[in-house]
Structure 1
């Protein structure tokens, strides 16, 4: 620590240094997927402005990722104030872009002006090719710094325009450089759905897999396609398309006639997925609730004393919402939540208007929907009474085996569900008591996948978990959540994987709101510790260990490398457990996320549903040798 705190202590980060210093403030560092999205969003903005008809995303064999569009091409002229080309300004300067004023782009997602510059900062290498004004230009970068000026490399037709960005993510900034291909393909498909007439092509060189998407009637066909195998309540989904001076709203909506696990609930702002919802989703729920209550009250359908909430309506719904607005305010650079309060009022009133008209024209289906909402509300109240009764008669508010933390600040508090008392004891000794809580689980918890939330709360183990978390199963109200991170910590053996699977099933089936809000994590204890001189590295598996060793061997002087393989959690001493699992500086936590592309519900059905015993046996017989079960 410096002895004196004066003006010399103040450090000013310039250029792209802030991104490299604190990458987590600018992107999702779990994988490079968000880097692809940042480049893609620029191309999408060109499509929204009417200047782009085709986008191609390629995953090359050598790890290179390229995004090519046929838009107008980045500006190549010299900026009058900054005296550098438009390309260099966009790639090397934070908060530089043409989307702040709204003159060049009516609707866009890249309003922070940091997207592609962040990609440049966090890439080993990046190259840009621009086709514009009858010429092809190129410029190259390494580690965010330019290695060549913008060059004119070819003469082409004046109408031949577009931008190509190719980059290799720098693995030092990411937990893994592996691309989540299913997630990427789902994103590309969704972008095509939300931008009718736009062709988006995905190409994986290694697998020689090529998938094009183009939708003329996007949302409705997308919902029908995603709801295959689900009995929908309405014969025709409700759809909306409404425009205002600075806002647009599109949505398609239906309900499952029977309880279903894999319902699609997706929201977008200017074609950017908002996994944590925000103003547009809140406005949608508000408008939906108001219209249903108005319909029910006019026909006197609601039993006396019963109050219907938005969650009662959303619980069995499947929908896609696409909002567009000129100046969206996102919660952060990853843009997972919209915070534009004015837009909420527009969405709410638009949703209510559309649905009120629909209810007047479809009274019979409207009454079926009302019955579904009333049944959901009654089940919710019944479940609450069960929980309240248990709290009244079962002694202390918190489980006795919970070793709680001192802090109540959700930005730092963590709860670890640990397999067994042995590992739980080590975890208690290795934790940071201020913000880390430990709760050991004895044996395997109840398989909750096929059960309703009102049933599982009768299990003492589930009741303890619910009480520790502070949220009831099935509830979307997470205001009483006691910890910012809820972490599953289990051994990598078959028993540990079984326990982790049961916990994941519990959260996916009955605590989906916590997953969507980004509160559920799985701890990934490393298998190896690698010491090289004074540096320490941790590797999750053999491949990661080999990659680290390979890089270390390239260093001058060929330093000595020591490798230690860790054993199970119960055999780790507290110091080993602290440095591999508990310490935020050295551990690895994987956030549990879900998208429609994951097919996670059908996989969980196969693994855990009692109805699929024969299919599960057949699957294990066929794939048991190649799948880690």
Structure 2
């Protein structure tokens, strides 16, 4: 077989934007929905760069019904004069030449998001059609492109342009003149770009995400104070609600939506959970699960722009407080500190390639300025929210600016803990007593921004900042300013810094305790059982996959429960009355509380950020309390503990509430010795009426259970503990942010909002779900 010939004729040379269409992933990451959104970010970022340079304060993003997107700004407008080297207009250079634009110079832009000079041209290459209009010099200039190539479309209806209209491409090497289509005021400037993404490039499943667009625009409005950004969705009829909202330093922009109750503890079709249902046929009439959703509410869902979404037609964003407003927006839960601000700038020298007069590149050392703006606060809880940006580009992977920030606050917090070791009860001689970064980040909400000319990103998608010189600048500024805050030497920070340090040290103790707990085997033999709380009546080992923990209210109920339980897989842990409200307490106070510490120890999976659901000793945690107001209060206190420090138990459906009966009806006559249990006054009345109708006799002296201790073992087993006959309510959490708001509302320190919530919702809930 002859060898295949391989020569220069086999080499392919892709010119201009053909390389982009051949390998789009190199420029936008993917060709799915994320790549589609990345194209939109590139166009929006170019307009925002004009705002960062001080020439633009109004951007409008329009989602047209034909699937196209238009971005308009009142910036300076793309240059329309001829570029000397190519002889093409500035518009054509920007939209057809890779690595071309003013951002390669040193004067037009000092801090930009669109960096590599490929954004607009890449979007043009990946669009089936792109139209651009530029207002400059008292005229409106117009130009069109098809898959990156300039030319002229002949639209049947100029008011409704289409990528399917006939297109005549400009011949190669012949400049395309800008068409002047109107006049404007000499002071009017701006750029409007409308494009239709190319279905030949993007996947069939690719679609725009309205929710992502809103989130990105919202965060941009925080990062560029004073910039108004408007989203217009023409897919929503004009008769629909228009939401024009504005935010100042003290308010936050949010699209208006009809809010459903955040705490959903009842449902018209919800039933109780019967363990035996799984072993019965689908046709059997047996109770099913009733979800106590900690949150519920209608939310805006992602969808293609061609669909009719459930949101306002117009939404505007305008913030003036910068990153401080951003942190306030991101904060969920009770704040432990006010919002702290770190600001400043520094300079560094960098060697870069400069463009000479003849177009040649040469090395040049220039001095750069790096601006730093950081806002942070701590809130109750252990979730971490750190968002970082370079100019207006989010860097989800962090980078040198985040490294500098975290290094500095870690250093200063460790020093502050050491200086206050006695007050914080930290034994500095114990090598294990060292604050780690995870302890610091628990409950931390921070926005870290850096303004840098020509930043170095790792890849075109700009996920991570790589400019090494930024790190020492951020470290120095944070070290000095945060150091004054955390030590309390800055006026007004002493009390706040004390609370922050107490929380961080509490997280450290929780982490250490969790590590020690993991070193102990999950199941203890008789010799080791003393390490568990003495009041725990544990189940037999070997049934880990079905093991249940009943948290029982009171010693009287415990005695009955011991006789009613199946010791093979059911464990009992009594609590004395109402446990600590951890929503109002610090983590140190929580760990010092015997009841809370015992529950965490018995569950065996740790607490806070170190909680490991795989280490849980039980697959069902069942709150078994009396059917009265005090019992309901104990349940919500337990749920607050689970939510704040063992949240995965709720997320994985491990937490249940037992449903003990309220009444027992003793039948007479031929049914003597039989009993009927009811769970509400309404059910009792209905059941009695049904017995009367069927002429079945019953004892008029109906027993009303005031507590679990009033039942004998057989009754408690049949109604509340035996998986074959009992009923349970499973606790679920659908939305962490809304759940946090509900716990803050119901269990926090702020009384007036809680009172108002009760007043507003008193007539709306299902009273049959309330134990009476």
Q: TM-score, normalised by structure 2?
A: 0.51
- 1:33 maps to 2:37: yes
Q: Which residue of 128, 131, 146 corresponds with 1:127?
A: 131
Residue by residue, what CA displacement relative to the aligned partner does 1:416-469 show, whole Å, maximum 9, x if unpaired?
xxxxxxxxxxxxxxxxxxxxxxxxxxxxxx9x999864341315999xxxxxxx
Q: Which residue of 321, 339, 355 corresponds with 2:466?
A: 339
Q: For residue 167 of structure 1, what is the aligned residue in structure 2?
A: 195
Query: Per-residue deviation at 1:250?
Result: 0.8
Q: Which residue of 136, 149, 161 corresponds with 2:140?
A: 136
Q: For residues 121 and 195 of structure 1, what CA distance do their matches in structure 2 show?
A: 29
Q: For residue 613 of structure 2, what is the aligned residue in structure 1?
A: 456
Cα distance change of structure 1 residues 367 and 20 upon mapping to structure 2, 3 Å threshold: same
Query: Per-residue deviation at 1:169?
Result: 1.3
- 1:329 maps to 2:453: no
- 1:273 maps to 2:273: no
Q: For residue 410 of structure 1, what is the aligned residue in structure 2?
A: none
Residue by residue, what CA displacement relative to the aligned partner does 1:221-272 show, whole Å, maximum 9, x if unpaired?
2322332x510101x210122123411111111111x3255x6421111111
Q: For residue 223 of structure 1, what is the aligned residue in structure 2?
A: 327
Cα distance change of structure 1 residues 136 and 298 upon mapping to structure 2, 3 Å threshold: same
Cα distance change of structure 1 residues 289 and 86 upon mapping to structure 2, 3 Å threshold: same
The within-5 A match list for 1:507-546 is none
Q: Which residue of 87, 94, 111 corresponds with 2:91?
A: 87
Residue by residue, what CA displacement relative to the aligned partner does 1:259-286 show, whole Å, maximum 9, x if unpaired?
255x642111111111221111111111
Preserved CA contact (<8 Å) 2:333 2:381:
no
The within-5 A match list for 1:354-365 is 354-358=481-485, 359=487, 360-361=489-490, 362-365=493-496
Preserved CA contact (<8 Å) 1:169 1:177:
no
Q: For residues 372 and 325 of structure 1, what CA distance do their matches in structure 2 show?
A: 34
Q: Which residue of 378, 381, 405 corresponds with 1:259?
A: 381
Q: For residue 366 of structure 1, what is the aligned residue in structure 2?
A: 497
**Relative contact order, CA 8 A, sep 6+: which one is greater?**
2
Preserved CA contact (<8 Å) 2:514 2:610:
yes
Q: For residue 21 of structure 1, what is the aligned residue in structure 2?
A: 22
- 1:201 maps to 2:237: no
Kindly report the root-mean-square deviation, in angstroms, between the aligned alpha carbons of the 2 structures. 3.5
Preserved CA contact (<8 Å) 2:52 2:112:
yes
The within-5 A match list for 1:548-627 is 601-602=736-737
Q: For residues 122 and 28 of structure 1, what CA distance do their matches in structure 2 show?
A: 13
Q: For residues 436 and 78 of structure 2, what CA distance do their matches in structure 1 show?
A: 48
Q: For residue 473 of structure 1, what is the aligned residue in structure 2?
A: none
Q: For residue 313 of structure 1, what is the aligned residue in structure 2?
A: 440
Query: Per-residue deviation at 1:9?
Result: 3.4
Query: Which of the pair is proportionally richer in helix?
Result: 1
Structure 2 unaligned residues grouped into runs of 5+: 153-175, 239-312, 348-368, 525-602, 620-646, 653-733, 748-760, 766-772
Preserved CA contact (<8 Å) 1:288 1:310:
no
Q: For residues 81 and 35 of structure 1, what CA distance do their matches in structure 2 show?
A: 28
SS in 1 for 2:446: strand
Q: For residue 237 of structure 1, what is the aligned residue in structure 2?
A: 339
Residue by residue, what CA displacement relative to the aligned partner does 1:36-91 show, whole Å, maximum 9, x if unpaired?
11001111111111111110111111111000000000011111111111111111
Q: For residues 172 and 449 of structure 1, what CA distance do their matches in structure 2 show?
A: 52
The within-5 A match list for 1:92-107 is 92-107=96-111
Residue by residue, what CA displacement relative to the aligned partner does 1:556-595 show, whole Å, maximum 9, x if unpaired?
xxxxxxxxxxxxxxxxxxxxxxxxxxxxxxxxxxxxxxxx
SS in 2 for 1:26: helix
Q: For residues 118 and 604 of structure 1, what CA distance do their matches in structure 2 show?
A: 42
Preserved CA contact (<8 Å) 2:413 2:501:
yes
Q: For residue 581 of structure 2, what is the aligned residue in structure 1?
A: none
SS in 1 for 2:86: coil
SS in 1 for 2:415: helix
Greater Cα radius of gyration, structure 1 or 2: 2
- 1:282 maps to 2:403: yes
Query: Per-residue deviation at 1:313?
Result: 1.0
Cα distance change of structure 1 residues 21 and 370 upon mapping to structure 2, 3 Å threshold: same
Preserved CA contact (<8 Å) 2:330 2:445:
no
Preserved CA contact (<8 Å) 2:82 2:88:
yes
Q: For residues 615 and 649 of structure 2, what CA distance do their matches in structure 1 show?
A: 17
Q: For residues 649 and 28 of structure 2, what CA distance do their matches in structure 1 show?
A: 26
Q: For residues 507 and 26 of structure 1, what CA distance do their matches in structure 2 show?
A: 42
Q: For residue 633 of structure 2, what is the aligned residue in structure 1?
A: none
Cα distance change of structure 1 residues 116 and 185 upon mapping to structure 2, 3 Å threshold: same
Query: Per-residue deviation at 1:604?
Result: 8.2
Cα distance change of structure 1 residues 506 and 85 upon mapping to structure 2, 3 Å threshold: farther
SS in 1 for 2:615: coil
